[in-house]
Structure 1
């Protein structure tokens, strides 16, 4: 598929006068990846896509036939999903939900609302009764444990703005069992304790802990749990080391005694990054090369206002050089042979950096850097309109391209 992307880049100037600056999403690659994920999943598990990783409507549309549904964290995200499908299942999570968001989610018949606080729970009960809508919820619980895997981003097992602390569970159940609650049903629990975990064995241990904990709650509080949402957090690397081993994870999960004891309870997973990261490319043309105090800089048409992930995570983002022979100027073409250069963007800030001290055999002004693994949290989290530079173009690879 890289050959398709590179061919498209080399033909850019046949149709465009401006420097190359674009995202290319491999929709067929995403679909094939998800199909392979589904092949190894145990029968009691379901795969959702967390669209915060990349809410592009064409990606959502490509995934509708394959995933169980979508996880959203705002009304804006929910409307994007509903713009593609009127009835696909939706999980609605995230802290700080406003009244109008809860109301719209209830009216739009989201499948499960993830409850983040006691106040939110009370509001949902009030609004569901007001609109006479049966509403199913999952309580997001911040479990009190030190046994969770350690990752760069942690949202559980410590003080956090996410979910209900475990000691509030009894009060939450009491609120739900109040005689005034006639519309809201507790269907299960949601856990999302970490992001970008790379260790399959530890992830299985974590899921086992969730299941065993919920089974104990079922016993203590006489609950009937239909769903355990174990969240996402499946890791992707950007330094060439192996990413999360999905096949190992699902194989170990299928053999796990806790999973086998689930009964009719369904286990949900909601990855985002892991589904789309490897199937997006950010292409940016080198528009200048300059030397400052013995250090070379390659300046792109683009930068962190399009791809903020490397600055946000503090890593060098992997790229390849696509050589472009075109040079229309009457003077010599700036180039760097067998040297180091820091790759920066067009913004007026020294933080606009995508790769520090890259080792280069040959890089010329007019060549294009193709940043791989740019399908997740690259465009979406970027400050698109800083300094008013034009947005990149967007292209999609589908079957037959």
Structure 2
């Protein structure tokens, strides 16, 4: 990666611009996904959640390895189809528009999740108009949480899914709809859960709920989509999700999975570790007794630290060349706040981490930036240039 960074620095210097880039190791992404897929039992389908990172180079690396893609918009559908025109696609999320539903049906989306009666009626109407059928999963917002993580989707009042108390009405409507085929349930519940044991317990609760709803409402449960939510460790404390233990647990549940396709939709856990956000130091200064380094970039390009509410780890790549006709400033052995170029004090990526040496012109590299970095950032605030995108 260091070679790719230095070649990127050289290209930026030719443009007389500071260096700022995302670097993705696409070979490592593919290898990681291949290993995770191989560990799963045959009853499982592994889909990549495009929302985590929708870069074309990332999708192209994953397309031959995963079983398909999970998408939440027409734009993501087009990106998935560009990576693999025949890939299996599941269309999830609330607020699907008429146009997006029609685009999905015409593009051969395999499964749609249903979030409400309105969502169901829209799918049925568009399927009837286009002469197709919509295969659907009913997304249930259970009365109690099924698993916990940094973001809770169900088990509380959110915009996601069908309230469990309203499920009889929606299930009856879905089973009676003339252009709908009900295939099962969608139960994605949480984001960024680091604990494999609790995720296996979540699978058990999903299987029990599926059996209950099948018996009570006659719902088919050929497909059970448990979503993603597999956590990664941003702190460096070694709390990585134990995928091998999770996969072994699924193998142990092979009898319970008989006749069920278990759809799993990781995003973050497939790509986070193999992406890096890199930003050149533009200024080093002191204010009110504290040291600050101002970077080309910031939360408008890499908003993840602000979302997580934590200091993001980083390393410093020293750059010895200094072609500019001004003195070069530096810090030595001192805590520093790494800040971006925006006109807001909220633009902080890490607040007081000690550095051995940091100079204007050096490059700060933030690891674990392969998921929910660029995708969730307000990238055009102040209209700064976008970063480069490099692959190794």
The TM-score bracket by the shorter chain reads over 0.9
CA distance in 2, matches of 1:7, 1:386: 28
Q: Deviations over 1:72-100 (max 9, x none)?
A: 11111111112222221111011111222
Shift of 1:61: 1.2
Shift of 1:202: 0.2
CA distance in 1, matches of 2:33, 2:49: 13
Which residue number in structure 2 is paired with residue 285 of structure 1? 280
Q: Is the 8 A contact 1:10 1:324 kept in 2?
A: no
CA distance in 2, matches of 1:240, 1:12: 32
Shift of 1:16: 4.6
Q: Is the 8 A contact 1:296 1:342 kept in 2?
A: yes
Which residue number in structure 2 is paired with residue 260 of structure 1? 255
Q: Is the 8 A contact 2:9 2:19 kept in 1?
A: no
Which residue number in structure 2 is paired with residue 49 of structure 1? 48
Q: Deviations over 1:40-83 (max 9, x none)?
A: 11111111000101111111111111111101111111111122
Which residue number in structure 2 is paired with residue 174 of structure 1? 172
Find the partner of 2:303 among 308, 318, 335: 308
Q: Is the 8 A contact 1:42 1:254 kept in 2?
A: yes
Q: Deviations over 1:102-140 (max 9, x none)?
A: 122122220001111011111211221121102100111
Q: Is the 8 A contact 1:337 1:361 kept in 2?
A: yes
Matched residue of 2:42: which SS? coil
CA distance in 1, matches of 2:84, 2:252: 35
Shift of 1:328: 2.4
Map residues 179-198 of structure 1 onto 2, 5 A cutoff.
Answer: 181-198=177-194
Matched residue of 2:227: which SS? coil
Q: Describe the shift of the 1:226–1:355 C-alpha distance in structure 2 as closer, same or farther (beyond 3 A).
A: same
Which residue number in structure 2 is paired with residue 342 of structure 1? 337
Q: Deviations over 1:189-248 (max 9, x none)?
A: 101111000110000000111011102222223343221000000001211022211111
Matched residue of 2:216: which SS? helix
CA distance in 2, matches of 1:11, 1:96: 44
Q: Is 1:37 the counterpart of 2:33 in the alignment? A: no
Q: Is the 8 A contact 1:139 1:188 kept in 2?
A: yes
The TM-score, its normalising length taken from structure 1, stands at: 0.94
Find the partner of 1:362 among 357, 361, 366: 357
Which residue number in structure 2 is paired with residue 17 of structure 1? 16
Which has the higher mean CA deviation after the structures are superposed, 11-20 or 127-136? 11-20
Find the partner of 1:247 among 244, 259, 268: 244
Map residues 148-227 of structure 1 onto 2, 5 A cutoff.
Answer: 148-178=146-176, 181-227=177-223
Which residue number in structure 2 is paired with residue 272 of structure 1? 267
CA distance in 2, matches of 1:125, 1:374: 39
CA distance in 2, matches of 1:51, 1:62: 12
CA distance in 1, matches of 2:280, 2:203: 44
Q: Is the 8 A contact 1:117 1:164 kept in 2?
A: yes
The TM-score, its normalising length taken from structure 2, stands at: 0.96
CA distance in 1, matches of 2:174, 2:319: 64
Shift of 1:331: 4.8
CA distance in 2, matches of 1:149, 1:168: 21
Gaps of 5+ in 1: none
Matched residue of 2:41: which SS? coil
Find the partner of 2:226 among 211, 224, 230: 230
CA distance in 1, matches of 2:339, 2:54: 26
CA distance in 1, matches of 2:229, 2:98: 28
Cα RMSD, aligned residues only: 1.6
Shift of 1:183: 2.0
Matched residue of 1:236: which SS? coil
CA distance in 2, matches of 1:177, 1:112: 15
Which residue number in structure 2 is paired with residue 322 of structure 1? 317
CA distance in 2, matches of 1:65, 1:121: 32
Q: Is the 8 A contact 1:31 1:66 kept in 2?
A: yes
Matched residue of 2:86: which SS? coil
Matched residue of 2:69: which SS? strand
Which residue number in structure 1 is paired with residue 347 of structure 2? 352
Q: Is the 8 A contact 1:51 1:71 kept in 2?
A: yes
Count residues in correspondence.
391
CA distance in 2, matches of 1:131, 1:331: 65
